[in-house]
A = this chain, B = another copy of it.
Amino acid sequence: MVRVTITQVAAHAGVSVASASRALNGRVASAKTVAKVQHAAQELGYVADAAAQSLKRGRTNQLAYAVADIGNPVHVEMMTEIERVVSASGYRLVMSSMGTSSSSVDVVRELGRGYVDGMILSPQRVTDELLEVLAKTPVPVVVLGRLPAGAGLDTVPADSFTAMHLVVEHLVAEGRADIAFVNGPADTTPGAFGHDGFAAAAAAAHPALTVRSLEAENFTITAGYAAARRVLHEDRRPDAIVAANDLIGIGALRAAEDLGLAIPEDLTVTGVDNTELADVIRPGLTSVDLGARERGRLAAELLLARITEPERAVHTAAVPPALVVRGSSRAHTSNPAHAFDHNNGRAG
């Protein structure tokens, strides 16, 4: 229970602390010294103090994945992939949630104080204050999401425009004419880009399309349920609901069900993220895969590259979205919805 220091190990082994340090870290040392020191360390249960080591070395060997919307399962996918990549380079990964008990700004500032050597961020809202903190954070940062041009940070944005194009084209192809876009809060980054993407896609696809937008209170199932219920009660009921993410989409599915609507006959519902949830819900939720795993991998690689070479040019990595059609819309393409798709809608 009590901490043992390298000084005690050195004393126990009968060598200097310098020799102990060298022996422990695999630097030059005689075989005899190494044996003695390792034996002493083992016996005493020595583990190097992280704070002292970090202070001296100037790095922690730790990276952080900071995520605002921790309830969204897509972040687990990303985290798993990020961890795979960074642990191969000898880093440990910790996950921090932003926004529940502390603001993104606080979390970034805290982590930047020297807890980690770098971080990957999935922010909900990109405020000027956040950008400012990001700019002066002493450790490398990669943002999973879109940033204002000129932010000077490595980013792996989601391609909302293409995503929304895919969805709208799909809906038009199956004959939908009155589409409701159920967004998350518009003042969030995914919210804003989702909206713009949807508006552009709708205008491009078919100028005569009837569209409306509304906001769910947040990106959750419950909020999606409430928002969908509202729009489905309007005089002119839409024949398609485009949800800003899968959770909202699932809420919409439940709302439609409660109102006795047949899906996809009366109403099509689509989501975004292509999470396992979309695959497991009934009817299956047609969803755009934004490439979570791939984007997680890219973010991790960008971060590692910047740690290695801090002055390299700013990079932006793009991943093409892909529509995965399931039972919540009509399967009129060559992409069939499987009864239970173990590959989560992606080719194995």
The chain A residues found within 8 Å of chain B, CB to CB, are 1-3, 45, 47-52, 54-55, 60, 62, 64, 70-71, 73, 76, 79-80, 83-84, 87-88, 92-97, 100-102, 109-110, 112-115, 136-138, 221-222, 225, 250, 254-255, 257-258, 276-277, 280-282, 310, 339-340, 342
B114 touches A101 (CB 8 A): no
With CB as the reference atom, state the residue of chain B lying closest to A71.
B76
Q: Which residues of B contact A64 (CB under 8 A)?
A: 94
With CB as the reference atom, state the residue of chain B lying closest to A3.
B138
CB distance from A59 to the nearest CB of B (A): 9
Contacts beyond the supplied A1-B137, A87-B101: 12 A-B pairs with Cβ under 8 Å: A50-B114, A51-B55, A51-B114, A83-B100, A84-B100, A95-B96, A225-B340, A225-B342, A254-B280, A257-B340, A277-B277, A281-B282
A97 touches B79 (CB 8 A): yes
Q: Which residues of B contact A280 (CB under 8 A)?
A: 221, 250, 254, 281
B55 touches A49 (CB 8 A): yes
**A92 vs B88: C-alpha distance in the bound complex, in angstroms?**
27
Contact partner of A54 (CB less than 8 A), chosen from B51, B95, B282, is B51
With CB as the reference atom, state the residue of chain B lying closest to A81.
B100
A-B interface, 7 closest residue pairs, ranked by CB to CB distance from nearest: A50-B114, A87-B101, A51-B54, A94-B94, A51-B55, A50-B113, A95-B95
**A34 vs B41: C-alpha distance in the bound complex, in angstroms?**
45
A115 touches B70 (CB 8 A): no
CB distance from A46 to the nearest CB of B (A): 10
Among the interface residues A48, A94, A137, which one has the most CB atoms of the partner chain B within 10 A? A94
A1 touches B277 (CB 8 A): no
**A113 vs B53: C-alpha distance in the bound complex, in angstroms?**
10
Q: Given A254-B340, A339-B258, answer yes or no on A48-B113 (Cβ-Cβ < 8 Å).
A: yes
B73 touches A73 (CB 8 A): yes
Q: Which residues of B contact A83 (CB under 8 A)?
A: 97, 100-101
Q: Which residues of B contact A250 (CB under 8 A)?
A: 280
Q: Given A1-B136, A113-B50, A138-B1, answer yes or no on A94-B96 (Cβ-Cβ < 8 Å).
A: yes
B60 touches A70 (CB 8 A): no
A102 touches B87 (CB 8 A): yes
**A250 vs B1: C-alpha distance in the bound complex, in angstroms?**
42
**A222 vs B55: C-alpha distance in the bound complex, in angstroms?**
45
Q: Which residues of B contact A101 (CB under 8 A)?
A: 83-84, 87-88
**A29 vs B343: C-alpha distance in the bound complex, in angstroms?**
63
CB distance from A72 to the nearest CB of B (A): 9
A110 touches B92 (CB 8 A): yes
**A136 vs B83: C-alpha distance in the bound complex, in angstroms?**
27
Q: Which residues of B contact A342 (CB under 8 A)?
A: 222, 225
With CB as the reference atom, state the residue of chain B lying closest to A140.
B1
**A79 vs B257: C-alpha distance in the bound complex, in angstroms?**
31
**A221 vs B277: C-alpha distance in the bound complex, in angstroms?**
10
CB distance from A42 to the nearest CB of B (A): 12
Q: Which residues of B contact A54 (CB under 8 A)?
A: 51
Q: Which residues of B contact A136 (CB under 8 A)?
A: 1, 45
**A298 vs B62: C-alpha distance in the bound complex, in angstroms?**
28
11 A/B residue pairs, CB under 8 Å, sorted by A:
A1-B137, A2-B138, A3-B138, A49-B114, A64-B94, A83-B100, A84-B100, A88-B101, A257-B282, A258-B340, A277-B277
